[in-house]
Amino acid sequence: MKLATIANLEDHTSEDKRTGAVHSVQAADICLPEDALRQIWTPLHLERLARTYWRFLSRVTLGLVRVRYTERERFVVLLLPPLKLLSFRAPEYEMDEQRGVVRWRITRGLLVARAGRHKDGYLQIDVRRRPSEDPTHQASARLHIEVEVSNFYPSIASGIGRWFYRETQSRIHVIVTHGFLRSLARLDLAESRVGRFAGGIEDVPDPAPPAEDEEILPLGR
C-alpha cells in the first residue's frame, strides 16, 4: 500500500576532469504524514533503510546480484561469492534530529579500476528533513533523500571507454536507483541482517557538514 508520495526525482552524474573519478547522485523528495516520520526517524530505521537498498538491488536483478555480510565488510556478488562486483567496509552511521547518513566505503571489486582501489570512494544514502511543501497542512512532512556514489573509478571506463560506461553501467545505475527511490512510497523497510541499533539518536555520531564538491564535468562531455 502506498503510504507516501515520491516527487522531484533528480540525477546528477559527473566526472572529475583531472582524475576520471565518477560522482553520481540520484535524489527524490518523500512526502509522508508527520506522525509516520516521527516513528521512523531512528537509527534502527536508518539501518533498515540501508538494508532495503540491498534488498531492492537483489529483487530488481532477480537474485543475480546479492549482498554478503561479514563483521567488517559487505560484498556485492554476482551469483557466487568469488564474483565480487564491489567490496565495502562495514557501514558507518551518522544521525541527528535533521539528518541521517549511512555510508559504505569502497575498497575493491570487479567494477572498480585497479587505480581506484582504496581511494576513499563511497556509496552513501543521505536523508534530510525538509519543510513541508504545504505549510498549511501540519500533518504532512517531507524528506529529501540522496543516493550518492563518490570518487568511484569504474573499471569498464578505464578498460573499454568512457562512452561505453556511460551508456551501460552508469545508465543502469541511475535506472535502478530511481526505482529504489520510487519503491520507498510504500515505507516497507526491510529488517536489518545485523541489527546494530536499538537505542536512540544520541547513540549515533552527528553527521559531518557536507564537503565542498570538487570541480566536475557532466559525464559524457
177: Cβ contacts below 8 Å, ≥ 6 apart: 26, 147
| pLDDT for 159 beyond 70 | no
The one-letter amino acid at 152: F
Rg (CA), the chain: 17
- Quick check: helix, strand or coil at residue 176? helix
Cell digits for 84? Answer: 565480487
- Per-residue pLDDT tens digits for 172-190: 999 999 999 999 999 999 9
Whole-number pLDDT of residue 136: 57
Instruction: Please identify, in words, the CATH class of the domain defined by 5-199.
Output: alpha beta
Share of residues in the chain with pLDDT > 70 (%): 86
Q: In the structure, what pLDDT confidence band is assigned to residue 221 with cuts at 50, 70 and 90?
A: very low
The number of C-alpha atoms within 13 Å of 98 and in the hemisphere containing its C-beta is 5
What span, in angstroms and rounded, lies between the C-alpha atoms of 197 and 203? 8
Dihedral (CA of 156, 220, 24, 186) sign: negative
- Per-residue pLDDT tens digits for 22-38: 999 999 999 999 999 99
Neighbours of 197 (CB within 10 A): 19
CA distances from 7 to 52, 64, 86, 182 (A): 19, 29, 30, 9
- Report yes or no: 126 and 6 within 8 Å, Cβ to Cβ: no
